[in-house]
Amino acid sequence: MILYLMKRMAGACVVLWVIITITFGLMHAIPGGPFTQEKKLPPVVVAAVEERYHLNDSLATQYWDYMKHAAALDLGPSYKYPGKTVNDIIAETFPVSAELGLISLFLALGVGVCAGMAAAWRKNSWVDYSMMVCATLGVSVPSFIIAAILIQLFAFTWPILPAAMWHGPSYVVLPALALAAQPASFIMRLTRSSILDALAQDYIKTARARGVGTRSLLIHHALRNALLPVVSYIGPLAAALLTGSFIVESIFAIPGLGRHFVTSIYNRDYTMILGITIFYSFLIIMMNLVIDGIYPLVDPRITLQKRKGE
Amino acid sequence: MNTLLDIQNLSISFRTYRGVLEAIHHVSIVVNKGETIGIVGESGCGKSVTAHAVMKLLPKETAIYSPDCKIMWEGTNIVSFTEQEMNALRGQDMSMVFQDPMTALNPVLTIGDQICEGLVLHRRISQQQALYEAEKLLRAVGITAPEKRLHQYPHELSGGMRQRSLIAMALACSPRLLFADEPTTALDVTTEAQVLYLLRSLQQKLGMAIVLISHNLGVIAQMCRRVYVMYAGCVVESGMVEDIFDKPAHPYTNGLLASLPDPEHKDKPLQGISGQAPDLFHLPEGCRFYPRCRHTMQICMKQAPPCYDLGKGHQAACWLLCPERGKYNEIT
Amino acid sequence: MDTRDFEPVDPKCIVPIRIPPQTLRSRGWRQMKQNKLALLGLGIVVIMTSIAIFGPLVTSYTYDDQDFAMANAYPSPLHWFGTDSLGRDLLVRVLYGARISLSIGLAASLINLFIGVIYGGIAGLVGGRVDRIMMHIVDILYSIPMLLYVILLMVVFKPGLLNIYIALGIAYWLNMARIVRGQILSLKKQDYVMAARSYGTSTWHILTRHMIPNCMGPIIVTLTLSIPEAIFTEAFLSFIGLGVSAPMASWGVLTSEGINSMRSFPFQLIFPAAALCITMLGFMFLGDGLRDALDPQNQREGNR
Q: What does the longest C-alpha to C-alpha distance in chain C come to?
A: 99
Q: Pick the closest to residue B226 from B249, B202, B203, B209 (CA basis).
A: B209
| Structural element, H or E, at residue C153 | helix C146-156
Inter-chain contact A262–C256, Cβ cutoff 8 Å? no
Task: Using DSSP bridges, classify how beta strands B19-32 and B36-40 pair: parallel, antiparallel or unpaired.
Answer: unpaired
CATH number at residue C130: 1.10.3720.10
Peptide bond connecting C75 to the previous residue in cis, omega within 30 degrees of 0? no
CATH superfamily to which B3-224 belongs: P-loop containing nucleotide triphosphate hydrolases (3.40.50.300)
Q: Where are the beta strands (DSSP E) in B269-329?
A: 308-309, 315-316
In this prediction, residue C15 carries a pLDDT of 67
Please give the DSSP secondary-structure letter assigned to residue C69. Answer: G
Q: Confirm whether A181 is domain-assigned.
A: yes
The chains in contact with chain B, meaning 3 or more Cβ pairs closer than 8 Å, are A, C
Number of domains chain A contains = 1
- What is d(CA B150, CA B61) in angstroms, rounded to the nearest whole number? 35
Of B61, B88, B104, the CB nearest to A206: B104
Q: Pick the closest to residue C226 from C110, C76, C67, C125 (CA basis).
A: C110
Q: How many percent of chain C have pLDDT more than 70?
A: 81
C185 to chain B, closest Cα gap in Å: 24
| Structural element, H or E, at residue B237 | strand B234-240
Inter-chain contact C242–A145, Cβ cutoff 8 Å? no
Chain A, chain B: beta-carbon pairs less than 8 Å apart: 87
Nearest-by-CA chain A residue for B105: A203
Q: Decide if C69 touches B, using CB distance below 8 A.
A: no
Give per-residue pLDDT as tens, C99-121: 888 888 888 888 888 888 888 88
CATH number at residue A142: 1.10.3720.10
Q: Decide if B168 touches A, using CB distance below 8 A.
A: no
Confidence of residue C17 (pLDDT cuts 50, 70, 90): low
- What is d(CA A198, CA A221) in angstroms, rounded to the nearest whole number? 8
Q: Decide if B245 touches C, using CB distance below 8 A.
A: no
Number of domains chain C contains = 1
- What is d(CA A231, CA A214) in angstroms, rounded to the nearest whole number? 24
Of C144, C153, C236, the CB nearest to A247: C236
**Backbone torsions φ then ψ of B8, nearest 5 degrees:** -120, 125
Of B18, B275, B324, the CB nearest to C16: B275
Inter-chain contact A203–B172, Cβ cutoff 8 Å? no
In this prediction, residue A308 carries a pLDDT of 38
CB A280 within 8 A of CB A80: no
Q: Which residues of chain A have pLDDT under 70?
A: 1, 29-42, 44-57, 303-310
Of C3, C16, C30, the CB nearest to B327: C3
Q: How many residues appear in chain A?
A: 310
- What is d(CA C135, CA C112) in angstroms, rounded to the nearest whole number? 16
Q: Which residues pair with C295 in a beta bridge?
A: none
In this prediction, residue A72 carries a pLDDT of 73
The answer, yes or no, to whether ipTM is higher than 0.90 is: no
Give per-residue pLDDT as tens, B266-314: 776 667 777 777 777 778 888 888 888 888 888 888 888 888 888 888 9
Q: Which residues pair with B94 in a beta bridge?
A: B90, B177
CB < 8 Å to C147, chain A:
239, 243
Inter-chain contact A301–B107, Cβ cutoff 8 Å? yes
CB C79 within 8 A of CB C89: yes
C302 to chain B, closest Cα gap in Å: 7
Residues carrying CATH 3.40.50.300, chain B: 3-224
Give per-residue pLDDT as tens, C32-86: 677 777 888 889 889 888 888 887 777 767 766 677 677 667 777 777 777 777 7
A5 to chain B, closest Cα gap in Å: 24
Tell which C residues from 69 to 128 touch A, by Cβ distance under 8 Å: none
Q: Pick the closest to residue B52 from A215, A197, A205 (CA basis).
A: A205
Q: What per-residue string of b and e applies to B275-306 under the rule 16 or more CB within 10 Å gives b? A: eebbebeeebebbbbbbbbeebbbbbbeebbe
Of A27, A242, A265, the CB nearest to C240: A265
Mutate to test the interface with B, among A210, A231, A308 (most CBs of B within 10 A): A210
In this prediction, residue C303 carries a pLDDT of 33
Inter-chain contact B155–A209, Cβ cutoff 8 Å? no
Q: Decide if C142 touches A, using CB distance below 8 A.
A: no
In this prediction, residue B238 carries a pLDDT of 92
Inter-chain contact A209–B172, Cβ cutoff 8 Å? no
Q: Confirm whether A182 is domain-assigned.
A: yes
**Backbone torsions φ then ψ of C252, nearest 5 degrees:** -60, -45
C13 to chain A, closest Cα gap in Å: 44
Tell which B residues from 101 to 130 touch C, by Cβ distance under 8 Å: none
Taking the CA atoms of B109, B112, B115 and B121 in sequence, report the sign of the dihedral they define: negative
Nearest-by-CA chain C residue for B278: C17
In this prediction, residue C302 carries a pLDDT of 35
A223 to chain B, closest Cα gap in Å: 10
Q: How many residues appear in chain B?
A: 332
In the predicted model, is pLDDT for residue C301 greater than 60? no
Taking the CA atoms of B326, B332, C5 and C7 in sequence, report the sign of the dihedral they define: positive
Q: Which residues pair with B38 in a beta bridge?
A: B212, B227
The chains in contact with chain A, meaning 3 or more Cβ pairs closer than 8 Å, are B, C
In this prediction, residue A37 carries a pLDDT of 54
- What is d(CA B316, CA B307) in angstroms, rounded to the nearest whole number? 5
Highest-confidence range of A183-187, B97-101, C1-5, C126-130, by mean pLDDT?
Answer: A183-187
Q: Decide if C5 touches B, using CB distance below 8 A.
A: yes
Confidence of residue C299 (pLDDT cuts 50, 70, 90): very low
In this prediction, residue A309 carries a pLDDT of 40
Q: Decide if C22 touches A, using CB distance below 8 A.
A: no
Give per-residue pLDDT as tens, B194-253: 888 888 888 888 888 999 998 888 888 888 989 999 988 889 999 999 888 888 888 888
CB C58 within 8 A of CB C50: no
CB < 8 Å to B78, chain A:
none
C3 to chain B, closest Cα gap in Å: 5
In this prediction, residue B2 carries a pLDDT of 83
In the predicted model, is pLDDT for residue B41 greater than 80? yes
Domain span at A213: 95-258
In the predicted model, is pLDDT for residue C298 greater than 60? no
The chains in contact with chain C, meaning 3 or more Cβ pairs closer than 8 Å, are A, B
At residue B145, what is the residue type? Answer: A
Cα dihedral B123/B126/B131/B133 (nearest 10):
-40
Q: Confirm whether C302 is domain-assigned.
A: no
Of A209, A220, A224, the CB nearest to B90: A209
**Backbone torsions φ then ψ of B209, nearest 5 degrees:** -90, 145
Give per-residue pLDDT as tens, B102-135: 888 888 888 888 888 888 888 888 888 889 889 9
CB C63 within 8 A of CB C52: no
Inter-chain contact A201–B103, Cβ cutoff 8 Å? yes
CB < 8 Å to B107, chain A:
203, 225, 299-301
Helix (H, G, I), strand (E, B) or coil at A201: coil
Nearest-by-CA chain A residue for B122: A211
Q: Confirm whether A220 is domain-assigned.
A: yes
CB < 8 Å to A225, chain B:
106-108
CA C78 to chain centre: 35
CB < 8 Å to C273, chain A:
141, 145, 148
Q: Confirm whether A143 is domain-assigned.
A: yes
Of C9, C34, C302, the CB nearest to B298: C9
- What is d(CA A213, CA A211) in angstroms, rounded to the nearest whole number? 6
Helix (H, G, I), strand (E, B) or coil at A121: helix
C276 to chain A, closest Cα gap in Å: 8
Domain span at C132: 36-45+83-295
Q: Decide if B306 touches C, using CB distance below 8 A.
A: no
Q: Pick the closest to residue B164 from B136, B195, B119 (CA basis).
A: B195
| Structural element, H or E, at residue B71 | strand B70-73
**Backbone torsions φ then ψ of B173, nearest 5 degrees:** -105, 25
Question: Where does residue C13 rank: exposed (0-12), middle (13-18), buried (19+ CB within 10 A)?
Answer: exposed
CB A205 within 8 A of CB B57: yes
Of A137, A145, A273, the CB nearest to C155: A273
- DSSP assignment of B94-114: EEEE-S-TTTSS-TTS-HHHH
